[in-house]
Amino acid sequence: MERAQSWLSDQYDAETQEQVRAMLEGNPNELIDSFYRTLEFGTGGLRGIMGAGTNRMNRYTVAMATQGFANYIKMKFADRKELRVAIAYDGRNNSPAFANVTADVMTANGITVFLFDALCPTPELSFAVREMQCQAGVMITASHNPKEYNGYKAYWEDGGQIISPHDKNIIAEVNKITDPSMVNFQRRPELIVSLSEDFDKLYLDRVMGLSLSLDLIQKHRHLGIVYTPIHGTGRRLVPEILKMKGFDNVSTVASQMTVDGNFPTVKSPNPEEPAAMALAIEQAKSQDADLVMATDPDADRVGIAVKDEKGDFVLLNGNQAACLFLYYLLKRWKELGKLTGKEYVVKTIVTTELLSEIARKFEVKHYDVLTGFKYIASKILELEDRQHFIGGGEESYGYLAGDFVRDKDAVIATSLFAEAAAWAAEQGKTLYQVLKDIYTEFGLYKEKLVSITKKGISGTEEINAMMARFRNTPPTEIAGSKIIEIRDYKKQEAKCIGNGAITPISLPKSDVLQFFTADGTKVSVRPSGTEPKIKFYFGVKGEIGNDLDKALLALDEKLVNVEKEICS
pLDDT digits (tens, 9 = 90+) for 266-305: 999 999 999 999 999 999 999 999 999 999 999 999 999 9
* DSSP state for residue 45 in the 8-state scheme: B
Phi and psi angles of residue 18, each rounded to the nearest 5 degrees, phi first: -65, -40
CA separation for the pair 535, 554 (Å, rounded):
23
Q: Angle, to 10 degrees, between the axis of helix 59-76 and the axis of helix 166-175?
A: 120
Query: 493 with 505: CB under 8 angstroms?
Result: yes
For the domain made up of 37-195, the CATH class stated in words is: alpha beta
Where, residue-wise, is CATH 3.30.310 in the chain? 444-567
Closest CA to 299 of 164, 173, 423, 203: 203
Write the pLDDT tens digit of every residue in 436-490.
999 999 999 999 999 999 887 788 889 999 999 999 999 999 999 999 999 999 9
Residue in 72, 83, 78, 85 with CA at minimum distance from that of residue 169:
72
Q: Label the pairing between strands 481-488 and 149-156.
A: unpaired
**DSSP codes of every residue in 71-103:** HHHHHHTTT-SS-EEEEEE-SSTTHHHHHHHHH
Pairing relationship of beta strands 46-49 and 149-156 according to DSSP bridges: antiparallel
Whole-number Å distance between alpha carbons of 539 and 524:
9
31-35, 40-44, 240-244, 370-374: range with highest mean pLDDT: 240-244
pTM (two decimals): 0.94
164 is catalytic: no
CATH for the stretch 203-442: 3.40.120.10
Question: CA-CA-CA-CA torsion for 433, 434, 436, 437, nearest 10 degrees?
Answer: 120
Please name the residue ranges forming H helices in 136-293.
Answer: 166-175, 197-208, 214-219, 234-245, 278-287
Residue 82 has pLDDT above 90, yes or no: yes
Q: What's the pLDDT score for residue 343?
A: 98
What does the alpha-carbon distance between residue 387 and residue 392 come to, in Å, rounded to a whole number? 14
Residue 41 has pLDDT above 70, yes or no: no
Q: What is the distance between the alpha carbons of residues 307 and 547, in angstroms, rounded to a whole number?
A: 17
Q: Tell me which H or E stretch contains 60.
A: helix 59-76
How far apart (Å, rounded) are the C-alpha atoms in residues 133 and 84?
7
Q: 462-493 as b/e, with b when 16 or more CB fall inside 10 Å?
A: bbeebbeebeeeeeeebbebebebbbbbeeee
How far apart (Å, rounded) are the C-alpha atoms in residues 42 and 64? 16
Stretch(es) of the chain classified as CATH 3.40.120.10: 37-195, 203-442
Three-state secondary structure call for residue 252: strand
Spatial distance between the Cα atoms of 352 and 366, rounded to a whole number of angstroms: 13
Query: What is the rounded average pLDDT of the residues 497-516?
Result: 96
Amino acid at the residue 101: V
As assigned by CATH, the class of the 444-567 domain is alpha beta
Angle of helix 354-361 relative to helix 431-442, nearest 10 degrees, comes to 80
pLDDT for residue 549: 85
Q: What average pLDDT score do residues 128-135 get?
A: 98
Per-residue pLDDT tens over the stretch 155-210: 999 999 999 889 889 888 988 998 899 999 999 999 999 999 999 999 999 999 99
With pLDDT > 90 as the criterion, what percentage of the chain qualifies? Answer: 90
Task: In whole angstroms, give the CA distance from residue 453 to residue 460.
Answer: 10
Beta-ladder partners of 249: none
Given a cut of 60, whether residue 43 has pLDDT beyond it is no
Peptide bond just before 123 cis, omega within 30 deg: no
Cα separation, 45 vs 136, whole angstroms: 13
49 DSSP β-pair partners:
149
Report whether pLDDT(556) > 90: yes
pLDDT, averaged across the chain: 95
143: left (phi over 0), alpha (psi -120 to 50) or beta: left
pLDDT of residue 44: 62
Q: Are the C-beta atoms of 66 and 84 separated by less than 8 Å? A: no
Which candidate in 34, 143, 396, 510 is catalytic?
Answer: 143
Instruction: Write out pLDDT tens, residues 84-121.
Output: 999 999 999 999 999 999 999 999 999 999 999 999 99
Contact 51, 58 (CB under 8 A): yes
User: For strand 513-517 and strand 477-478, is the pairing parallel, antiparallel, or unpaired?
Assistant: unpaired
Q: What are phi and psi of 404, to 5 degrees?
A: -80, -15
Instruction: Dump pLDDT digits (tens) for 301-340.
Output: 999 999 999 999 999 999 999 999 999 999 999 999 999 9
Binning pLDDT at 50, 70 and 90, where does residue 265 land? Answer: very high
Average of per-residue pLDDT across 358-386: 96
Taking CA atoms, 507 is separated from 98, 167, 369, 530, in Å, by: 34, 16, 7, 20
